Structure 1
């Protein structure tokens, strides 16, 4: 198995849109990653939080199909932790992905007794800022 990562995608509305769900479906079919699990967390304008699977949202059922072969690994604790970070009237999608593109590297390392122990996600704006500071583009 390649490295896995939990992403929290936020949107400035109270529910996930069909367009956002289509983008997630593309992730499933592109081949560079595997979506292991996903969960939608909403915080209403009144501050009430709730969570559910993509298939729980009636307006998304035609977009997501059967949801693939996702495992139920993201749980209520993850949903609650994410809800605490959300502003009222916003929604987040937690997506647990496996980096399939890195699987060959993980296998090669394993063959010689090594492993990918950890990783650090660096936001793109930090990379852009560092490139500008170094005199790049």
Structure 2
């Protein structure tokens, strides 16, 4: 059986109160790509102005400015115009968003192994970190209360 060219991918949207992501955000993206955790398939920036209008900024336009000149996008265009416009509606006026389409390389390997063994991933759902941490903290507090 052939190997998958791509594994599961995820749209991730981050909002910034500034017009560009901070150096720390850029460093985090570079670190994840360089250590092989993810492959960056597409990256688009969106500015939502106070009047509600939207500007779409491609990586080529600001890569030098924010320190992402050495990054290669492996499938530009995955974040299509319709997706970007819908996601832009999530942004608060006066903010900027980064839309990342990332491939989880560990998940690609796992999906390949399932497929080669005759299995298939039927469902996958990401739980946002703030939600998971809040639920875990509540469960821990409840456990302490019942044991205490």
Same fold by TM-score, threshold 0.5 exceeded? yes
Shift in Å at residue 66 of structure 1?
4.1
- SS of the aligned residue for 1:86 comes to coil
Q: Which residue of 1 is the match for residue 3 of structure 2? A: none
Q: Which residue of 1 is the match for residue 49 of structure 2? A: 44
- SS of the aligned residue for 2:114 comes to helix
Q: Identify the match of residue 68 of structure 1 among 66, 72, 85.
A: 72
- Distance in 2 between residues matched to 1:23 and 1:129, nearest whole Å: 23
1:57-96 → structure 2 map (5 Å cutoff): 57=62, 59-60=65-66, 63-72=67-76, 73-96=78-101
Q: Identify the match of residue 16 of structure 1 among 12, 21, 33.
A: 21
> How many residues of Structure 1 are paired with residues of Structure 2 in the alignment?
135
Alignment RMSD: 2.1
Query: Per-residue CA shift, 1:43-77, capped at 9, x if unaligned?
Result: 123322111212212522xx112431432221211
Q: Identify the match of residue 116 of structure 1 among 107, 116, 121.
A: 121
Maintained 8 Å contact 1:14/1:43: no
- Distance in 2 between residues matched to 1:6 and 1:109, nearest whole Å: 23
Q: Which moved more, 1:51-60 or 1:33-42?
A: 51-60
- SS of the aligned residue for 1:26 comes to helix
- Scaled by the length of structure 2, the TM-score of the pair is 0.78
